[in-house]
């Protein structure tokens, strides 16, 4: 009998919550541009503004600071491109939507555990005053939580006038955070990483921060982001944020199954490396390197058995390049393209982890004798 498929690639895209899909279906069936004055338009506006409140609540901030975008990629592009031509510092482990929007940026190194290196940051801050510092709140490949509050405090102490950005796409719905307490000016969010729809996100902008208008045309989103609002998507995002906020405790429970999996694999295969294991991580993510077997071979072996995991960020996994995150962590070159990312979420069951362990161990026993021990 066919085994049930197992989806453990939530950091690439989390399955949408059924209540979110239901709400979106209802709203998609209704006409109305949120800028129109008639009753249909007013109803659409009501859903957009309700969602703005829900997103603000997730980040413990004011709805006024929330601008809807097409996702975290757009939010990151808006901020990083706004500061082009000025001195910018970004962590070496940022998502490509940050790194490629700021090719001139200087990289802040990370430690072997995948946490930003505060001493190296201090050295970089002692040079010319940067206009922007961008450090993500949670890394998408390892799940390692970054000390963004400390980064912001240090940067402001040393460099008055500096702007701070954090990409919180992989933090939202996984750990609690407050926009003001982080001390940042800009914060990027993505709906589909927290079980909302794909193609929607937000940029939070603190009062006093330089505005970073990105798309020009209509006057939507207080002239910060032109274009007719995606009403169903935005409403779905709002509901997903609300549900995620109410389920932070159950999300935290995922670490038990994740830690059991890591223990099981390590006992059978002591040569594996679990990246960021000694750092604070979000509960759902595990990045496991197995020397000798390229990540795409591992992925295909698991896929044949109906198990979906990833080699890292979905954006670059079509072509399995060595992971820039693992390289920045100083991982040996042979491991940088030999690691799998397992990421769970709201619909994951303990049996999913057990099945992954079973299939992974079967794969390992087939190839173990061929592994070149380096
Ligand atoms: N930042 C991080 C940390 C991510 O993991 C992702 C998604 N891979 C993005 C940004 C891009 O988000 P979106 O898909 O909403 O554009």
User: Based on the domain organization, do 168 and 42 belong to the same domain?
Assistant: yes
Ligand 1 centre to CA of 34 (Å) is: 26
- Asked whether residue 305 is assigned to any structural domain, the reply reads yes
User: Based on the domain organization, do 256 and 233 belong to the same domain?
Assistant: no
- Asked whether residue 1 is assigned to any structural domain, the reply reads no
The residue out of 217, 246, 275 marking a domain boundary is 246
User: Based on the domain organization, do 192 and 253 belong to the same domain?
Assistant: no
Catalytic residues: 315
- Asked whether residue 155 is assigned to any structural domain, the reply reads yes
User: Based on the domain organization, do 257 and 238 belong to the same domain?
Assistant: no
Ligand 1 centre to CA of 321 (Å) is: 18
User: Based on the domain organization, do 228 and 287 belong to the same domain?
Assistant: no
Interval 195-200 mean pLDDT: 98
User: Based on the domain organization, do 93 and 227 belong to the same domain?
Assistant: yes
- Asked whether residue 113 is assigned to any structural domain, the reply reads yes
User: Based on the domain organization, do 186 and 270 belong to the same domain?
Assistant: no
Given this model, what pLDDT does residue 334 score? 84
Given this model, what pLDDT does residue 5 score? 94
- Asked whether residue 228 is assigned to any structural domain, the reply reads yes
Statement: the pTM of the whole predicted model exceeds 0.85:
yes
Domain count, the chain: 2
User: Based on the domain organization, do 205 and 275 belong to the same domain?
Assistant: no
Best mutation site among 98, 193, 198 for ligand 1 pocket (most ligand atoms within 8 Å of CB): 193
User: Based on the domain organization, do 172 and 117 belong to the same domain?
Assistant: yes
- Asked whether residue 52 is assigned to any structural domain, the reply reads yes
User: Which tens digit of pLDDT belongs to each residue from 208-237?
Assistant: 999 999 899 999 999 999 999 999 999 999
User: Based on the domain organization, do 144 and 270 belong to the same domain?
Assistant: no
The residue out of 206, 231, 246 marking a domain boundary is 246
Q: Which residues line ligand 1 (CB under 6 A)?
A: 71-73, 76, 95, 97, 136, 140, 167, 169-170, 190, 201, 313-315
Would the pLDDT of 316 be above 70? no
User: Based on the domain organization, do 214 and 273 belong to the same domain?
Assistant: no
Mean pLDDT of the chain: 95
Would the pLDDT of 317 be above 90? no
Q: Which domain holds residue 206?
A: 18-246
Residue nearest to atom 12 of ligand 1 (CA): 72
Answer whether 296's CB lies under 8 Å from 186's CB.
no
Ligand 1 centre to CA of 190 (Å) is: 7
Q: Can you give the CATH number for the domain in which 304 is found?
A: 3.90.1150.10
The residue out of 224, 246, 268 marking a domain boundary is 246
Q: Can you give the CATH number for the domain in which 67 is found?
A: 3.40.640.10
Q: What is the DSSP letter of 191?
A: G
User: Which tens digit of pLDDT belongs to each residue from 12-53?
Assistant: 999 999 999 999 999 999 999 999 999 999 999 999 999 999
User: Based on the domain organization, do 226 and 266 belong to the same domain?
Assistant: no
pLDDT-derived band at 369, boundaries 50, 70, 90: low
């Amino acid at each position: 009998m066919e085994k049930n498929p197992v989806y453990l690639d939530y950091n690439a895209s989390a399955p949408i919550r059924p209540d979110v899909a239901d709400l979106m279906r209802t709203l998609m069936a209704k006409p109305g541009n949120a800028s129109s004055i008639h009753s249909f338009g007013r109803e659409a506006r009501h859903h957009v503004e309700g969602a703005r409140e829900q997103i603000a609540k997730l980040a413990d901030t004011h709805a006024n600071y929330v601008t809807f975008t097409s996702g975290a990629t757009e939010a990151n592009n808006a901020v990083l491109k706004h500061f082009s031509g000025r001195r910018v510092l970004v962590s070496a482990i940022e998502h490509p939507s940050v790194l490629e929007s700021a090719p001139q940026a200087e990289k802040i190194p990370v430690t072997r555990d995948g946490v930003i290196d505060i001493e190296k940051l201090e050295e970089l801050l002692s040079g010319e005053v940067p206009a922007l510092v961008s450090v993500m709140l949670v890394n998408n490949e390892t799940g390692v939580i970054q000390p963004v509050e400390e980064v912001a405090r240090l940067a402001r102490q040393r460099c008055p006038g500096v702007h701070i950005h954090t990409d919180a796409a992989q933090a939202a719905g996984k750990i609690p955070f407050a926009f003001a307490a982080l001390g940042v000016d800009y914060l990027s969010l993505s709906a589909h990483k927290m079980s909302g729809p794909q193609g929607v996100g937000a940029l939070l902008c603190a009062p006093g921060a330089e505005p970073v208008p990105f798309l020009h045309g209509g006057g939507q989103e207080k002239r910060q982001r032109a274009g007719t609002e995606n009403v169903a998507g935005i409403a779905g995002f709002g509901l997903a944020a609300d549900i995620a906020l109410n389920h932070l405790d159950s999300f935290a429970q995922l670490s038990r199954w994740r830690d059991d999996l890591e223990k099981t694999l390590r006992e059978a295969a002591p040569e594996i490396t679990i990246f960021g294991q000694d750092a604070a991580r979000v509960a759902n993510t595990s990045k496991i390197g197995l020397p000798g077997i390229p990540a795409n071979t591992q992925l295909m072996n698991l896929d044949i058995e109906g198990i979906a995991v990833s080699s890292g960020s979905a954006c670059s996994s079509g072509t399995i390049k060595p992971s820039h995150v693992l390289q920045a962590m100083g991982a040996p070159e042979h491991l940088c393209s030999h690691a799998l990312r397992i990421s769970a979420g709201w619909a994951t069951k303990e049996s999913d982890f057990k099945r992954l362990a079973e299939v992974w161990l079967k794969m390992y026993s087939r190839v173990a004798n061929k592994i070149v021990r380096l």
